[in-house]
């Protein structure tokens, strides 16, 4: 038996974030997050008028990248189908997951809802921002879980320590705070956004960061704009993060 996949020239997100194939810029990472969010949104609500799909195994190695770094979700071996007529609708299952992306609510109750997918995506967002693995036991014990470690730093106002060092100078302060706040919101014990809300927010952050960086998207490629056109007061023009 074999599984046939569409060829993905850029491999997986894991290849770039953790295996050193290439270093992804902040704009590339945001674009990938938007694509993955759209995919999960479609699974949750867009594939049927009555049923949605909960992936249950979203992680770096299951986010595939096309030639222009458009993201696609893969590997549905643990996916479950459930009704989508109410946010509290759940499927009772044996707890299965990849360690490091576990929603505590799902772990303790065994009740699988779309909110589980939102939690996992919040962990993915922090992994993209930090460049660190979801679980790394080579670090001190209080840093093993990336989701816990990043949330603690967010509460303490220490966002600069979360960022992948190679991204320093690429992220505006305002958009950094918005991105981290969204990730924390996704990881909340109870009140989490829908994937539709997550997608809209990420699209907004990406749009403003492109403007702030002086780029405009045309046919999926980026072209420099002249400096005279960079006066949009609504773009994220906070002070850039500089190395400490």
pLDDT digit string, tens, across residues 212-237: 877 544 433 433 443 334 344 344 44
Tens of pLDDT, residue by residue over 122-177, are 999 999 999 998 877 777 777 778 888 898 899 999 988 999 999 988 999 899 99
Q: Quote the pLDDT of residue 219.
A: 37
Collect contacts of 92-100 with beta carbons under 8 A, ≥24 apart. 96/56, 96/57, 97/56, 97/57, 98/57, 98/59, 98/134, 99/134, 99/135, 100/59, 100/133, 100/134, 100/135, 100/145, 100/146, 100/147
Tens of pLDDT, residue by residue over 155-166, are 999 988 999 999
Whether the Cβ atoms of residue 132 and residue 209 lie closer than 8 Å to each other: no
In angstroms, what CA-CA distances link 233 with 27, 91, 195, 207? 20, 46, 28, 13
Span 49-63, average pLDDT = 76
Q: Pick 13-213's CATH classification: 1.10.510.10, 2.120.10.80, 3.40.50.300, 3.30.450.40.
A: 1.10.510.10
- Given pLDDT bands bounded at 50, 70 and 90, which one contains residue 100? low
Q: Where are the domains of the chain?
A: 13-213
Closest-CA residue to 38 (of 228, 218, 237, 206): 206
State how far the Cα of 85 lies from the Cα of 125, in Å rounded to an integer: 27
Catalytic annotation, pick one of 57, 70, 103, 164: 57
Q: At residue 38, does pLDDT exceed 80?
A: yes
Rounded to two decimals, what is the model's pTM? 0.75
Reduced to 3 states, what is the DSSP secondary structure of residue 186?
helix
Q: Environment class of residue 234 by beta-carbon count within 10 Å: exposed (0-12), middle (13-18) or buried (19+)?
A: exposed
* 70 belongs to the catalytic site: no
């Amino acid at each position: 038996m074999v599984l046939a996949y569409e060829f993905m020239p850029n491999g997986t997100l894991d290849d770039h974030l953790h295996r050193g194939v290439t270093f992804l810029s902040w704009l590339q990472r945001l674009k990938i997050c938007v694509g993955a969010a759209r995919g999960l949104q479609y699974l949750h609500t867009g594939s049927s008028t009555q049923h949605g799909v909960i992936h249950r195994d979203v992680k770096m190695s299951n986010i595939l990248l096309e030639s222009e770094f458009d993201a696609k979700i893969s590997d549905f071996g643990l996916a479950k189908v459930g009704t989508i007529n109410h946010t509290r609708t759940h499927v009772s299952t044996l707890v299965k997951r990849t360690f490091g992306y576990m929603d505590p609510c799902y772990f303790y109750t065994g009740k699988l809802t779309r909110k589980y997918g939102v939690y996992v995506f919040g962990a993915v967002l922090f992994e993209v921002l930090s460049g660190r693995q979801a679980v790394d036991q080579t670090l001190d014990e209080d840093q093993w879980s990336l989701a816990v470690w990043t949330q603690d730093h967010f509460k303490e106002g220490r966002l600069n320590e979360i960022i992948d060092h190679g991204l320093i100078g690429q992220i505006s302060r305002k958009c950094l705070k918005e991105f981290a706040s969204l990730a924390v919101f996704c990881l909340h014990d109870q009140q989490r956004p829908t994937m539709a809300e997550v997608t809209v927010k990420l699209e907004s952050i990406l749009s403003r960061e492109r403007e702030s960086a002086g780029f405009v998207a045309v046919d999926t490629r980026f072209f420099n704009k002249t400096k005279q056109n960079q006066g949009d007061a609504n773009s994220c023009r906070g002070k850039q993060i500089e190395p400490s």
